[in-house]
Chains A and B, each alone.
Chain A
Amino acid sequence: MNAVLAVIRRDLLLAARKKSEVLTALFFFVIVTSLFPLGIGPEPVLLKKIAPGVLWVAALLATMLGLNRLFATDHVDGTLEQMVLSPTPLGLLVSGKIAAHWLLSGLPLVLLAPVLGLQFDLDGGALGVLIVALLLGTPLLSLIGAIGAALTLGLRGGGVLLSLLVLPLYVPALIFGAGAVEAHISGLGAGGHLSLLAALLALAVFFAPWATTAALRIALE
Chain B
Amino acid sequence: MLSAHGLTCVRGERRLFAGLDFEVGPGEWLHVQGENGAGKTSLLRMLVGLMAVAAGEIRWGGEPVRTLAEDYHRELLFLGHHGAVKEELTALENLQLSSALDGDELAEREALAALHRFGLKGREELPVRFLSAGQKRRVLLARLVTKKARLWVLDEPFTALDVKAVAMLSALIGEHLAGGGMAVLTSHQAMPIAGGKALQL
Interface, chain A (partner B; CB < 8 A): 2-3, 5-7, 9-10, 13-14, 17-18, 76-79, 81-89, 93, 220-221
Contacts and interface: CB of A to CB of B under 8 A. Distances in A.
Contact of A81 (B50, B74, B85, B97): B50
Residue of A9, A85, A221 with most chain B CB atoms under a 10 A cut-off:
A85
B101 A76 contact: no
A82 B84 contact: yes
Interface of B is mostly: loop
A142 B44 CA distance: 34
Interface stretch (B75-83, B115-123, B157-165): B75-83
Contact of B83 (A5, A6, A10, A78): A78
Interface string B127-146: 10000000000000000000
A6 B101 contact: yes
B172 interface: no
A220 B80 CA distance: 13
Given A10-B86, A77-B82, A78-B82, A83 B50 contact: no
Contact of A85 (B50, B52, B82): B50
B49 interface: yes
Contact of B103 (A9, A14, A88): A88
Interface size class of B (residues with CB under 8 A): 20 to 34
A208 B98 CA distance: 25
A219 to B, nearest CB: 11
Contact of B89 (A2, A3, A5, A17): A17
A6 B104 CA distance: 10
B108 interface: no
A2 B73 contact: no
B70 interface: yes
15 contacts: A2-B103, A3-B100, A3-B103, A5-B100, A7-B101, A10-B86, A10-B89, A77-B82, A78-B82, A85-B78, A87-B102, A87-B103, A88-B70, A89-B70, A220-B50
B149 to A, nearest CB: 10
Interface in B84-112: 84-89, 93, 97-98, 100-103, 105
